[in-house]
Amino acid sequence: MLSSDVVSRISLMSLANAALLLGTASSVIICALAWSGKLRPCLMLDIGLLFEVIGAFSIATLENSTPMPADGWLRGVSGVALWITFFIFVVPSTLGKTALAAISSALMGPLALLIYSSVYRVALPAGGSLFSMFLPDVLAAVWAIILSRFVYGLGRDLGQARRMGYYELIEKLGRGGMGEVWRAKHRLLARPAAIKLISPESAGIGSEGLTATMVRRFELEAQMTATLQSQHTIQLYDFGVTDDGAFYYVMEYLNGLDLETLVNKYGPLPAERVVHLLSQVCESLDEAHKLGMVHRDIKPANIIAGLHGINYDFVKVLDFGLAKFKQETNVTVSGLAGGTPAFMAPEAALGEGAVDGRADLYALGAVGYWLLTGKLVFEAETAYATVLDHIRKTPVPPSRRTELEIPASLERIILRCLEKDPAKRPESARELAWLLKDVEVSEPWTQERAERWWQAHRPEVTRPAPIQIEEPAVVEVA
């Protein structure tokens, strides 16, 4: 019969072989899944983190499968610590997932030691020795969590630049509720562009990422946006989904200021300039409404005025990519933004019945109110209270909230747009444009006045950087 010592050694050999088999099998499975390309990249990354824990257990088991010397517990450099540190460069992930995987991997050492102690029937080391044995694993987990922030951020930025077709991200221009906006350049053309990234989290989509239905909805909206031809609607060049599940729009790069920043920085605008800006927005909305699109988020931050060609105070309307269609469609996504409380029409807030283009006209009336006064129509303490005010309260005429002169006809137009009943508002954006055209102002807002204003206040807009075009290389042919 075999002695107990021989049986223990056989058990340890079996344990080591089992750990080696587990590590090898999991490696083969991970490689097969990666090469198949059938899983979403985000799911593949999660499986990679699970592999990190399995690999750490296999390494720890192999390390603890050698009987310890009788005079003490000795350890060199822990393979688990090296594995944890190395893994963040192979599978970069979010902070929470990285922390979970790193801490779980560090715990595989003590788990393997417990298994070794049970199989080999030896006592565990003293507390101090046990602490010193696994301290490197814990430190490696901490370093991995810290380093992952840099590696993940850098990898994501570089990855986005590589995966957006011919466009390369240059600098972040801003961040909002639905994602980030970057200045970008085309790698072959001189045309500048802006890229808006919409992550699943910012769009209210769960950890499962973008489903086929969601991607189809984004594609439909992008295709509809691309059909808009108004010169006052931002032009869409391209769209797609990155490998990490973020949706992106490639748009024309605008040289100017959004109306929210314009008023915040320089104060309320004269009536003639407000008429000039609102009339251009009406042109954009008129085309969209005729195609069955309702913007749903008209607000000063989504309207940019600036230099376009040789025209100053030229308006562009943004974010039609998240518009709602009046026609019914079976491609819908829950969780998308439904508007901004300070500019939301009552019927949109209540969600009762069909919301049509007159909801955009209500929001445009609130924009005009902001431009004339520098104040919101209703300034409640919370977003919910603001929405209730739009539903219940009658707005104070803008002339009572500013020292600037507001023509009576313009004030009537603004208040008509802010009617609670959509039937009492202008019937269409075109009708609103006609009404604005008839407003009598003391002095018209001309291109000369607009140019003088931009040269005095924003000279960097009036003198855009020259376009650098590289000369093609000359190749001599013998």
The residues with which 248 forms a beta bridge, in sequence order, are 197, 240
Catalytic residue among 137, 286, 297, 319: 297
| Residue of 274, 275, 271, 270 lying closest to 436 (CA atoms) | 275
Tokens, residue 278: 């609102």
Question: Residue 96 CA to chain centroid, in angstroms?
Answer: 18
Q: Are 431 and 439 in contact (CB under 8 A)?
A: no
Specify burial of residue 235 (Cβ count, 10 A radius: 0-12, 13-18, 19+).
middle
297 has catalytic annotation? yes
Tokens, residue 317: 């309307």
Question: Residue 398 CA to chain centroid, in angstroms?
Answer: 35
Residue numbers annotated as active site: 297
